[in-house]
Each structure stands twice: as structure tokens, then as C-alpha cells.
Structure 1
Amino acid sequence: MVSIAPAPATERVLTVSDLSVEIRRGDRVVRPVSGVDLVLHRGETLGIVGETGSGKSMTGLAIMGMLPAGGRITGGSITFGDTELVGLPPARYRGLRGNDIAMVFQDSLTSLNPTRRIGDQVAEPVRLHEGLSRREARRRAEEMLALVGIPRPSERMDDHPHQLSGGMRQRVMIAMALVCQPKVVIADEPTTALDVTIQAEILDLLDDLRARLGMAMILVTHDMGVISRHADRVGVMYAGRLAETGPTPALFERTRHRYTQALLASIPSLTHDRGEELYSIGGAPPDLSVHDVGCGFAPRCAAATDRCRAEQPPLVADGAEPAHAFACWHPADGPVERTPARLAERPAAVDETSAAPRLRVVDLRREYPAGSDGWFGGRRTVKAVSGVSFDVAPGETFGLVGESGCGKSTLGRMLVALDRPTSGEVVFDGVAVSALRGRELGERRARLQMMFQDSSAALDPRMRIGAILREPLAIQGIGTRAERTARARDLLDDVGLPGSVLERFPHELSGGQRQRVGLARALALDPSVLVADEPVSALDVSIRSQVLNLMRRIQRERGLSSIVISHDLAVVRYLSDRVGVMYLGKLVESGAAEEVYAAPAHPYTAGLLAAVPGEEGPAEADRVPRIHGELPSPIDPPSGCRFRTRCPLATDLCAEVEPVLEPVSPTHQVACHFPLQTKEGAR
């Protein structure tokens, strides 16, 4: 086993030696973990990173003794203190699980029991492990909810999970894991589904509690930015094995394994040159039910040789840094160095400066009924979108960014006429789409298409891919069946998929392949406007870069006008020419992407940029503290400026007068009484 340098607190609390796991699925045997060595010291955070299927989560489940049905440990050792966990009787394991070793799961909505109150779920571990009475356990649970930052914990004790926001539910999961003050916490993708602001709060909370309670933590994630900011040491996993491990600064500054190098290069950053393609890792992770003798990364590695394909490299220490180890026959020596591919120039026919807007959004509003305030209360409404206006030129990409609940997805559905506005207009090529009905709406909607966030839910599981791609053509009466099949084959070729995919069902494709099919489906009718709602949020970083490059290429080749909706600021910056920042149903800032990102004028925008993990952000972002607190309810938004309840610059004026969008430069607008950039200070 490789010797790993100890953290400042040298007490070793967990040791994993040569761990191997297999899972039997019918006549297939999958080996998700093979020969993994890990050491965890008191008070430190060990990050485990890798693509989906790399074995990182399965390693955590093996430590917890919670392998899925058909799973078993086939070799190695897991030692907690002086206790060997492999082969430990189930009753003794249950005594450790939740008490000494705890886990924060990825999906809080499915991990919490929807039928039980929050207080009872948080109190349950201390009642089981410490034998406290119901009253004592509830008091401990309330203290823990306060510790993790739940507002008014005594009131929240009797809430059910669906009554809490995603960030609050994740805090409840952390409270459940920490209520017995364990020595080791395994956090499995604890912030994957959360907005950047809530993600920053949750990760800072975990760091603070780790330091205060003296815990050791294993942070499982696919986000290298999170690792760079929050882990003391990191292990990079690929195909069930450790590819590289060491202190976080050493691994980032002197990357040794080619896979780690490729992972780091694939991440879109706030400073990436938009004229260059993102680096992407070709191919896909290997099938772990097939036993390969060589390096698992060899089929995707440009530096691979016959030796790589024939012989598995051992994990060896770097001579310059003994705590830094890698398993590569042809190691790199730092981050990737390459000449990036330049994106093709836009078609000459596209002239955004002189052309009339292809899409015009005029004072768009959408409100939904939300019941009433009791027997004698008035009717309540959810104010999802409240007076949004912007234009999109031919060939232009407009990005919409903001936290979950800000109204951006509702706005996207109205743009493609899947939802009707309460008031306002969506004007497409001079025609008010929101006023159309029947056949006229169907014909116009063919030119307005949407790429949905969840490709699994958006594709009919009972239909083959060929039928899914032919369907919109058949509805519009375009071509014969043979012509529609040929068109479907061409669409697959456009998005980089083989024709054989036509005969497959959605569940037979990977997440990246399904997202490509979703893009092909949106392009089937040759639309003029494409609305992409969180198009890559569910994808690994390596697959994400492939899809983003594909979207940029197709948008430029076809002269598409696009609206990209995302809470990922780096994705929006890479895809967008202009950006609109939404908060609680309103645009608070809008302008050229380069200008908004380099010099944010609204405190909310600056706070969003400051919260991006692994990014320094612009200097203006440093002038404003990170955003804290929950998004207010759209049923009863704050008076005046809706952001004032979370804004460090707010005054009485902000509560009394609602700011309107005003220019700080010819290409930059902001709705703020105290903008960070003024007309004189804008760049």
C-alpha cells in the first residue's frame, strides 16, 4: 500500500487496504472496486473524484457495509480504529453505522422518509444508538437542526420533507448524519443537485462542522472545483481503481495521470476563451463486467502504448513528492498543454447588429393559483415570472442564469408555447406566438423547439430512438416513412451517434448519448429557435464538454437563435453571447456575457460568481460577501427590490422602491439602487 502523508492531526481513523468488490447481476459479474487503498486521518477531508461508474460511491457503500443486493467484498481490509469491518457480524456493524461512521446521501428527497416528520427522522439515530427518551432525542435533534443552520428549528421539527427546499433538506441529511457525533462522515455527492449558492453554504457548513467536531470526512464528487477548495487530499478513481492520489495542491499543480489531466482540462471555467472548443475525453468508461488486463484508461488515452493495453500499471509514489502517487506507464508532468481547436466562424449571413430580433419577449408574466390562506384568507398566487423583457437576434445565444425557483424554466416553457403567459407577449419573427391557437400554433411551434434537462424523462421509454426522431416529422406531415428514417439517420450523424442507435431504446443508451438524442429530436424540424433547459446538468464533466462543444458547433453551423437556461455560470458563459440574470421572477442584470462576467453590476450576480467552486471570480465579486439564506417565497415576494432580504448593501430605499433595469454601458443593464458598476465605472 502506498504511504500517504498524514494530515496535521495524525491519528489514523480509517484504513482501506486492497479493497475489491463485485456485484452479481444475473449472469453478469460487475467489479466496481478493484484493489483500492485509502487512509483517513482525524480532522481531514479526503476527496474521491471520478466519472459515473468509476467506483467512488461503491467504495463509500462498502465502508458503510451497505452494498446493494448481489454485492460483496471479495478481498482486502477495512479497518476503523482497531476494528476490522470486513466480515464483522451484522449486529456489530449496525452499532457502528450511524453512530461512529455516518453517510450523507446524494438525493435528500428520496433518502428522507416522506411520511415522517423531520424531527422524528433526525432523532431516530440517537434513540437507537444512545437509548435516549423520545423527549431527550427530540431536544438533541432540535439542537442539531440549529447547528446546521435550519431557521426556526423548533417549528421545522414537525415539517415533512416536501415542505422544505432542496438546500434545507440537505441540511437535514447532514443533521441526521452528525447527530451522534460520528468520527467519520462519508458525503456522497452532497451538493450535486443544488444551486451554486446553496452548494457553497453546504460545503462551508461541512468544513466548519468537521473542524468543530474533530471529524474526518470522505467527500465523494465528480466536481474537481469542489475538490480544489474543500479537500486536503484527493484520490482520483477510474474503472474501479485509484488512478492518482495525493495532497490536493500537488495533484492540481503537478498532475501525473493522463486521466486526471484530462478531467481537469474538461472543466469549463469562467475564464475559458469562448472562441476555443472545450477539451473532451473521447470514448466512454469501460464495461466493468469485462476483465481487462491492461490500464482501463488506455482505450481513451492518446499516450497509450501496447504496454498500457497489456499490463496494469501499479500505484507508485512520485519521487519529488512521496505522498503523491499515480498508476500510469507514461505519466504527465502537470496540467494538459495543447493547442485548443478554434470554433468555426459564424455564417456570414448572420448579422446580429442590423437584423430584427428573431425572438422578442415583452413584459412577460406568469402566475399560478396556490390555494388560499385558510377558511377566511384571500386567494394566493405564485408569481413565477414578473415582467421579463429581452430580445434575441438571429444566430445569437442568450443565457438565463439564476437559482432554482427564480422562474427561468417557466420562462423557457412560455418561449416555446408549452405554457401560456398570464400577460405579456412572446413575439417570434414578428408574430405573437402567445396569441395563436390550433393549427396555426402547431405550425409556428415547429420552429420553436426545446431541449429538456432530464433526457430519461423526455424520451418515451416504450419507443425506439428511430420512432422518437420520426415522430415530429410525421406529426407535421413531412416525407414518407423512408424519408423520415433517412432524416433520423442524418440527425444522429449530426450529433455524433451511429445509425445503429435507431433500433435501440432510451434505457440502452448512456446519459450523454440520451442527451445527444434529445438534441437531435429538437433539431428534427429545423427550428429557428432552440431553448435548452439545463442541457448538461446531469452529465459527468467529460461528457458535458462533448455535448457543449456539439451544441456550439450546431448553433453556429445552422445560425440558430438559442436560449440556454442553467444555474451553472461557467456553462452559460461558454455558450452565450448575452446573459440575463434572474432573481425571483425578474431580470436583475442583462448584458454582453464578457462584460457581465468581468464586471458584474448587481450584488446578486457578484455573489453568484463568488460562490463558484474553484474559481477566483472577478475583483468586483470580492467586494460583496457570498449570498446566504433561502430564496424568498414567490407567493409573497419582498417589497421593493426582491433581493434586499439577502443583500449586504440593502437600505430602507431598497424596501420602498423597486429598481428598474437601467444601463451602466451601451451593452449592460442592471436593476439596483447601488450597483457595483456605474456608468462612469463600467468598463
Structure 2
Amino acid sequence: MAKEMESGTVRTSDGFENAREPADGGRVLTIRDLSVEIRRGDRVVHPVSGVNLALDRGQTLGIVGETGSGKSMTGLAIMGMLPAGGRVTGGSIDFRGTELAGLPAARYRAIRGNDIAMVFQDSMTALNPTRRIGEQVAEPVRLHHRASKRAARTRAAELLALVGIPRPAERMDDYPHQLSGGMRQRVMIAMALVCEPQVVIADEPTTALDVSIQAEILDLLDELRSRLGMSMILVTHDMGVIARHADQVAVMYAGRVAETGPTPALFGHTRHRYTHALLASIPSLTHDRREKLFSIPGAPPDLAVPHAGCPFAPRCAAATDLCREGRPTLSEEEGGHTHACWHPVSGPTVRAHQTPATAPPPTASPVLLPERQTTPRLRVVDLRREYPVGGRGLLGGRRTVKAVSGVSFEVAAGETFGLVGESGCGKSSLGRMLVALDRPTSGEVIFDGAPVTRMSSRELGPRRAQMQMMFQDSNASLDPRMRIGAILREPMAIQGIGRRAERTARARELLRDVGLPLSVLERYPHELSGGQRQRVGLARALALDPKVLVADEPVSALDVSIRSQVLNLMQRVQRERELSSVVISHDLAVVRYLADRVGVMYLGKLVETGTTEEVYGATAHPYTAGLLAAVPEADPGAPLPRAGTRVRGELPSPIDPPSGCRFRTRCALATEVCAAAEPALTTVAGTHQVACHHPLRSGAGQPVELTAR
């Protein structure tokens, strides 16, 4: 993509005119005292209030905070894409000398997508499902540069190759649903970069992605920012992502900036109590599982209700009358580090295994981990699940998706078994079979000695009450037409348990157990926050006093503070009820905190199993080591992963998995034997087993190359 400068205008090798470069090569975007309101009938929400931010050329500004803090709304205001009823009510958005606030729609359209572009959070809903990806990537070039259809298609293929789409010329004609989540996100990045904008706003670009794909996408954005001389605003609630990828950080709370500064200064010497608490809420790979995670009490304020004082005061243990009555303004310290806190933290920043100054005295006793029982409550024996798909194979046979391919493990009473792996490895398919929501192709699920996979629907009915599932998407799994009380009573009504009054009493008890007020009974799901809905999902799963609970990605969509609350709740319920739990997640820190034993899945098979200490402390499979290397740590001073230690490349198709070891196509340790023979699970030490021809001898610290061949 060679360029030449003509009268201050950048032209690509295809002749496309691009945005002017900043005359001084410095400040690209300046936001001063920005305020936004959204009017919905009589209700007026103020999601952004008096925000000041600055972005220099080639810099990444990270904006972090809980849901509702104003992060995404700030990005949408810059793009001129506020939702219906939304408008900028004050302040300035200066883009290289052009005032964007109040800019006519026609002029905004000329800038949007050309000079300032956005990578949206949900690639599946942001991409048009009825149009091929090549057309969608080429569209900005045709609109902004009036390129011919052929030239725009050439440019689109060039960008798809640049963002790492394999065989871009072939994939141009694919539809979004034909791509994996990581590939769709790469298409979104290609669309944003096709006109080589000066500023890219990445709004939670990796929230729903696996840790390995997340690392690839963020590294890709860093590389492209450097190569193309762009500036980037990275919006996220993940402090680990910010620590590794942002130059400057702005922490937002209740629509305002609470703290800003260079990344090393903000993480190393946090000043605002909210930032301090956010960092302490993060579950880490080194957290002591016997101790509760710190969580910020309460919830963010309602931005439709005016409030005096510091908006964080109701949730801060250090708050005084001054905090409740007077609103602090941003005060600047040496090095551009600013904060808005009446009682700033002094001293080094705490990490997740320490108690922050904002925390109230602990009220709960340390978590006691269960001892392993000899008799398993749940046994999974050589479980397989294949789904037929259209078309025929090379030899004329029917094509099938091999979702689960011979998985075996046991779970004792009171024990938690964690399943980790990338999307598409078969975790959720396995979970549905464990609670009899799906029938296996072969193999058995044995619950308390009874093979539930052989039971008829009538025999299975009473057993279903004892095997429950906590679904990933609490919003989609709760009927929007039913009040929470009816949702909690429904399982009891189906099983014929008690009368209505008894069911209501049980629903009230369940709400108390999961830490929700009784007023929730009369609310609808949309009236609750994400964390509250997830608590309702757990309460519904516990309504019938099950013996087995399968939790499928129970906290993947939650903010870090709410996540800690739900994780602590799950561990408490597990301990009190002696549940046998299977926790499915791609978040390795979550699994480490909840699980007593861990199974690592890859393309339908278990490749490593053992106690949490064995798998995390003495990792034996290159795939597990690669996943651990990709976990972002909320510490900008932490050493970066060794070159090549992360899992790279695209997950092979489960329709036609590789011969031998299924991981061999992404593992540089692979040899001829890996292609010729499938490795069996072999004991390493104790209960630790690994399925690998070349297991790691010194755990995750061994410098191995895991790049794709």
C-alpha cells in the first residue's frame, strides 16, 4: 500500500484519496467538557457529563469502566452515531481543527468511515447477514473514494489479507455466518481500516472471543496502528487488556472521568478509589482459591436521577460527608496523572489477591475446598456427539460435525469440574448432554449410578429436576413476558411441587440466597441489570434443589466487579449445598477460582486433565500452555509472553478434523508421529493426564514455539 503525498493529501497505490495527515503530527482529537443526553419519553438519561479527553497521533487511549459508565456513548458521540433521542448538549469534539459537535449530517458522513472509523462490539449484529463480506468491506471505498466495483473489490481483498483472513480471494464471497467469531471480528477491522482512517474507535472488540483469539485481535490492532500511523481509542471493561495495549488510560464512572494518566502511572500508583477497587476485583491466575474475591458493593447509579457529591460515594467504604455533598473535580499530579477523588489512595496499587482500601472488613470465613470423594456422583463415559450437515464427503458419506469425540471424566459430590477451551471445541455441546437437553450419538452419562442416556423421556422426567443448567446468556434464557416470580415458580409447577403460596415462599427464599431484594419478584427481566439477571438464572437453576449444576460461561458478559460478586455467590452456594458442578468457560482465571479439577478441551477431545494445581502449576500440553500465555495481566510491568508461545492460527473444522493429534496443525512441536497416531490420555503424575506425543517437561514456563505451521 505504497503512498505518495500530493498537496497534503495521501493517495494509495490504487489512487484512492485519503485523509490529510495532522499538520503538526501531534494532537488528533480533543474532547472538552462533553455532555450527552438521551431522551426517552419523560425520562432523560445523562450518559456522558463533562468529559475531557485527548488523543495524539499514533497513540492508543484506553477507556475503561463498568457497563453504564459512558465509555461506548463517548465513542458514539465522536462518531455522530448517538441512539434515537440522543444529542450532544454541551462541549466540544475537535478532530484536527474540525468541530464535530453540531456538524451537519452530510459533512459528518464524509468523515465517518473515512477519517474516523469504528470497530463494533458484536460483529454478528454489526455485519449485514444478507451480504457477502467482500461487498461489505468494499463499500466504504466506493462511498468515500468513488472507486469502481473492481478496484474496490481489489482493495477489500488487500485489507482482508492484511488482517489475517486466510485465502482472502475465496472468503470474499462468504456470508458472515460462515465465519468464526474471530474471523468476523477481523472482517470488522478490515471494514474500519479500508479507507486508512486517522482514528479508529474499537468498542469492546474482543469481549465475546476466546483468550487466544482475543490476543491475536489485539496484537493485530497494535500492529496495524503502528504500520498505518493511526490513533486508537480502545473501549473495554478488561483492565488486563488496557494494561497491555494502551498508552494512556481514562477510567470512567457514572458518565464522568474519574482518573486519567499514562498507563504505567495509573496502574502502578492508582489514586481514585474506584480504579483501586476495579483492579482488586479481577480474578487472577495467582489468586488464593481459599479466599473470596473482592467485589465492589452495590451498583452504578441511575444516570436519569440527579445526584450530588461523588457518584462513587454510595459504594466506597472510605466515603465521608464531604464525598456525599460535594463533587470532586479532576486534579492533576506530576506526569499528567489526574483524579477526581476527595480521599485519593496513597501507596502502591493492590492486586486481586490483596484487599483494597475501599473494602469493608471481611464478614465471611475463608472458602473451604471440598475433599475428593471416592464415589462419583456424575460419570461421563466415552461421550460422543455428531451433527449431520448438508453435502457429502469425498467418499460419498454424509458429512457430520464431530462436536464431542470420546470424552470421559468423573465429578464427585461437592466437587467442581472446570471445562476450558476455545469456542467450537465442544464445551457447550457436552454441557447440554450432561443435563439431558441433548442426546449423545454414543457413550453414557451416569448420574448416581443410573445411565440417564438410556432412559426414556418418561423415566428422565424426575431426573431432570436433579440436573440443572445455568445458561450463558441470562437475557435470552429468561422469558421477557414473565415476571421474575413466575420464572422462579415455573420449574416447581412443572414438577408438581407445592401449591402457589409454597412456590412463592420458595421463590422468596431463593432470592435471599442469591442476594437479591424481594422486590425483584414483581419485575421483568429487562428491568434488571446483567448481574441481577445472572443471579436470577442461578436461583432458577437451584429452585428444585439439584445435585448437579452445569454453568455455561456464567460470567462471560459481566463487568469485572459484578463478575466477582457472582463468582463468590457460586462458590458459596456450591459449598453450602454440596453441588456437583461443571463450569464451562474460556476464562482460565474464572475456572481456576471455581474448579477443583480441570479438563482442557480441543476440537471435541480432552487433551489435559487434573487438579487445578496440576494443570495450572505444571502444564503439560502445548495447547494449555498457549492458552495460559494469552491471558492478559492487569499489570503493564508484567513480562510479555515469549515470542511464539501463544496459540495462533484458525481452529480446524470439526467436520474434517486433522488426523492424529488434532492440535498438530497449530503446534510447532508436531512431528510425523503426531499426524500418524492419535495420542491417548497418559498419566503424568498423580491425577494429572495429558494426550500429547511431546508433553512439556517443565510446565508452562518452558520456551516452546506454538505458532501454526
**If the TM-score is normalised by the length of the shorter chain, which range does it land in?**
over 0.9
Contact 1:346 1:557 in 2 (8 A): no
Query: Which digits, 9 at most, give the CA deviation of each residue in 1:387-436, with x for residues without a partner?
Result: 00001111110000000000010100110111111111001111101111
Shift of 1:376: 8.9
Q: Which structure 2 residues correspond to residues 670-681 of structure 1 after superposition, within 5 A?
A: 670-677=690-697
Shift of 1:378: 2.8
Classify the secondary structure of the residue corresponding to 2:376.
coil
Give the letter for the 1:118 counterpart.
I
1:657 maps to which of 654, 677, 685: 677
Using the alignment, how far apart are the partners of 2:145 and 2:489 within structure 1?
A: 61
Question: Normalising by structure 1, what TM-score?
Answer: 0.95
Using the alignment, how far apart are the partners of 1:15 and 1:351 within structure 2?
A: 57
Using the alignment, how far apart are the partners of 2:393 and 2:691 within structure 1?
A: 35
1:248 maps to which of 263, 267, 275: 263
1:326 maps to which of 326, 336, 339: 339
Aligned to 1:125: 140
Shift of 1:615: 6.7
Distance change (3 Å), C-alpha of 1:441 and 1:621: farther
Question: Normalising by structure 2, what TM-score?
Answer: 0.92
1:614 maps to which of 630, 633, 636: 633
Distance change (3 Å), C-alpha of 1:586 and 1:618: farther
Query: Which digits, 9 at most, give the CA deviation of each residue in 1:59-115, with x for residues without a partner?
Result: 001111111111111111111111111122211111111111111111111111111
Aligned to 1:593: 612
Give the letter for the 1:566 counterpart.
S
Shift of 1:157: 1.0
Distance change (3 Å), C-alpha of 1:376 and 1:423: closer
Shift of 1:438: 2.9
Distance change (3 Å), C-alpha of 1:502 and 1:190: same
**Root-mean-square deviation over aligned CA pairs:** 2.0
Using the alignment, how far apart are the partners of 1:675 and 1:401 within structure 2?
A: 19
Distance change (3 Å), C-alpha of 1:425 and 1:623: farther
2:284 maps to which of 263, 269, 292: 269
Aligned to 1:237: 252
Query: Which digits, 9 at most, give the CA deviation of each residue in 1:608-666, with x for residues without a partner?
Result: 00011127999998596211111111100000000001111111110000001001101
Using the alignment, how far apart are the partners of 1:185 and 1:107 within structure 2?
A: 16
Aligned to 2:331: 316
- Report the number of matched residues: 668
Contact 2:241 2:634 in 1 (8 A): no
Shift of 1:346: 4.7
Classify the secondary structure of the residue corresponding to 2:335.
strand
Using the alignment, how far apart are the partners of 1:211 and 1:118 within structure 2?
A: 25
Q: Percent identity?
A: 77
Distance change (3 Å), C-alpha of 1:644 and 1:271: same
Aligned to 2:525: 506
Using the alignment, how far apart are the partners of 2:566 and 2:426 within structure 1?
A: 25
Contact 2:618 2:698 in 1 (8 A): no
Give the letter for the 1:638 counterpart.
P
Aligned to 1:362: 381
Residues 1:52 and 2:67 are matched in the alignment: yes
Q: Which structure 2 residues correspond to residues 158-307 of structure 1 after superposition, within 5 A?
A: 158-307=173-322
Give the letter for the 1:311 counterpart.
G
Give the letter for the 1:335 counterpart.
T
Classify the secondary structure of the residue corresponding to 1:517.
helix
Using the alignment, how far apart are the partners of 1:639 and 1:615 within structure 2?
A: 38
Using the alignment, how far apart are the partners of 2:415 and 2:329 within structure 1?
A: 50
Contact 1:114 1:161 in 2 (8 A): yes
Q: Which structure 2 residues correspond to residues 94-113 of structure 1 after superposition, within 5 A?
A: 94-113=109-128
Using the alignment, how far apart are the partners of 2:320 and 2:50 within structure 1?
A: 23
Contact 1:606 1:620 in 2 (8 A): no
Classify the secondary structure of the residue corresponding to 1:273.
coil
Aligned to 2:46: 31
Shift of 1:293: 2.1
- For structure 1, which segment, 175-184 or 479-488, has the greater mean C-alpha deviation from structure 2 after superposition? 479-488
Contact 1:277 1:341 in 2 (8 A): no
Classify the secondary structure of the residue corresponding to 2:190.
helix
Aligned to 1:6: none
Query: Which digits, 9 at most, give the CA deviation of each residue in 1:327-350, with x for residues without a partner?
Result: 000001232453767655559xx6
Aligned to 1:80: 95
Using the alignment, how far apart are the partners of 2:284 and 2:363 within structure 1?
A: 16
Classify the secondary structure of the residue corresponding to 2:89.
strand
Shift of 1:52: 0.6
1:145 maps to which of 160, 173, 197: 160
Contact 2:243 2:634 in 1 (8 A): no
Shift of 1:468: 1.2
Structure 2: state its 5+ residue gaps: 1-23, 356-360, 703-709
Distance change (3 Å), C-alpha of 1:100 and 1:283: same
Classify the secondary structure of the residue corresponding to 2:683.
strand
Aligned to 1:388: 407
Residues 1:629 and 2:649 are matched in the alignment: yes
Using the alignment, how far apart are the partners of 1:229 and 1:351 within structure 2?
A: 38
Contact 1:398 1:578 in 2 (8 A): yes
Using the alignment, how far apart are the partners of 1:466 and 1:392 within structure 2?
A: 32
Aligned to 2:571: 552
Distance change (3 Å), C-alpha of 1:605 and 1:341: farther
- For structure 1, which segment, 119-128 or 245-254, has the greater mean C-alpha deviation from structure 2 after superposition? 119-128
Give the letter for the 1:325 counterpart.
T
Using the alignment, how far apart are the partners of 1:182 and 1:530 within structure 2?
A: 48
Using the alignment, how far apart are the partners of 2:92 and 2:503 within structure 1?
A: 57
Query: Which digits, 9 at most, give the CA deviation of each residue in 1:158-192, with x for residues without a partner?
Result: 11111111111110110111011111100000111
Using the alignment, how far apart are the partners of 1:164 and 1:271 within structure 2?
A: 35
Aligned to 2:550: 531
Aligned to 1:449: 468
Give the letter for the 1:331 counterpart.
P
Contact 1:25 1:70 in 2 (8 A): yes
Shift of 1:462: 1.5
Distance change (3 Å), C-alpha of 1:151 and 1:624: closer
Using the alignment, how far apart are the partners of 2:685 and 2:364 within structure 1?
A: 29
Aligned to 1:64: 79
Using the alignment, how far apart are the partners of 1:71 and 1:344 within structure 2?
A: 47
Classify the secondary structure of the residue corresponding to 2:625.
helix
Contact 1:397 1:576 in 2 (8 A): yes
Q: Which structure 2 residues correspond to residues 357-506 of structure 1 after superposition, within 5 A?
A: 357-373=376-392, 377-506=396-525
- For structure 1, which segment, 178-187 or 10-19, has the greater mean C-alpha deviation from structure 2 after superposition? 10-19
Using the alignment, how far apart are the partners of 2:697 and 2:451 within structure 1?
A: 35
1:335 maps to which of 331, 341, 349: 349
Contact 2:61 2:234 in 1 (8 A): yes
Query: Which digits, 9 at most, give the CA deviation of each residue in 1:194-220, with x for residues without a partner?
Result: 111110000000000000000000000
Using the alignment, how far apart are the partners of 2:365 and 2:468 within structure 1?
A: 24
Give the letter for the 1:654 counterpart.
C
Using the alignment, how far apart are the partners of 2:466 and 2:293 within structure 1?
A: 29
Give the letter for the 1:439 counterpart.
R
Using the alignment, how far apart are the partners of 2:406 and 2:639 within structure 1?
A: 31
Give the letter for the 1:530 counterpart.
L
Distance change (3 Å), C-alpha of 1:605 and 1:351: closer
